[in-house]
Amino acid sequence: MRDLHLISHHLCPYVQRAAIVLSEKSIPHRRTYIDLADKPDWFAALSPLGRVPVLGTGGRVLFESQVIAEYLDETTPGALHPADPLERARHRAWIAFGSETLAAIGKLYSAPDEAAFTAAAGVLRERIERITPEVEGPFFAGETFRMVDGVWGTIFRYFETFDTIGDFGLMPEAVHMAAWRGAVMTRPSVQEAPPEGYPARLMDFLCARPSHLGGLARAACGTAANPV
């Protein structure tokens, strides 16, 4: 495969999709982290949407996380999708559902007050409950780790930090869901997808939010009552 350059941000969950595929398939690449609040000029020239991830390869540039993940999967040996076309399409549908679930997480940590937070938590909880009957275990579709598992790993990673702040009851009580989350989060590719120091960076990010969850995060960390 041509020289691959993944442009990333330390906290972006979407970049982690590409990182998981790169790790699962042992694809050589280099990675650059940028500050999205102070984007370098060269990045603005590369990214039509102005966001990460961006993958440079063979003098071309790819953007959008799932496009990048699919390209990496399709151009290397093996597959992180099922062979059956219908099952493959079903996995892709639940990946799209995962993207919407990440958006629901954004609404949760941005909710300005307790009422909005409670409503956002309810929506997020419903989304997790909706996928529950689809999960076979130990991974989404049985014994084999698939791309859909990696996508949901980026969701469960948020929950690991949320759980240190409070018990928000986001995960269903179904035993197989706890087992799925455990199997995904102990997968080396999922563990290694974010850069070193990710949990602390995410907590700092939450503590800085002028939101209900931000206040809870600051209380959990014993920091100042108001964000800087």
Question: Residue for token digits 């691959």?
Answer: 4
pLDDT of res. 213: 98
Residue 185 contacts residue 133 (beta carbons within 8 Å): no
Rg (CA), the chain: 18
Q: Of 6, 12, 22, 141, which is the active-site residue? A: 12
What is the reported pTM?
0.94
Q: Express each pLDDT in 120-165 by its tens digit.
A: 999 999 999 999 999 999 999 999 999 999 999 999 999 999 999 9
Q: Where are the alpha helices (DSSP H) in the chain?
A: 13-24, 41-46, 65-74, 85-110, 114-131, 147-165, 175-185, 188-191, 198-207, 212-221
- Residue 30, beta-bridge partner list: 5
Other CB atoms within a 10 A radius of the CB of residue 201 amount to 15
> Can 12 be counted among the known catalytic residues?
yes
- Residue 56, beta-bridge partner list: 5, 61
pLDDT of res. 44: 85
pLDDT averaged over consecutive 10-residue blocks of the chain (228 residues)?
A: 88 97 96 93 89 93 96 97 98 98 98 98 98 97 98 98 97 96 98 97 97 98 62
pLDDT of res. 141: 98
The DSSP code sequence of 97-135 is HHHHHHHHHHHHHH--SHHHHHHHHHHHHHHHHHHGGG-
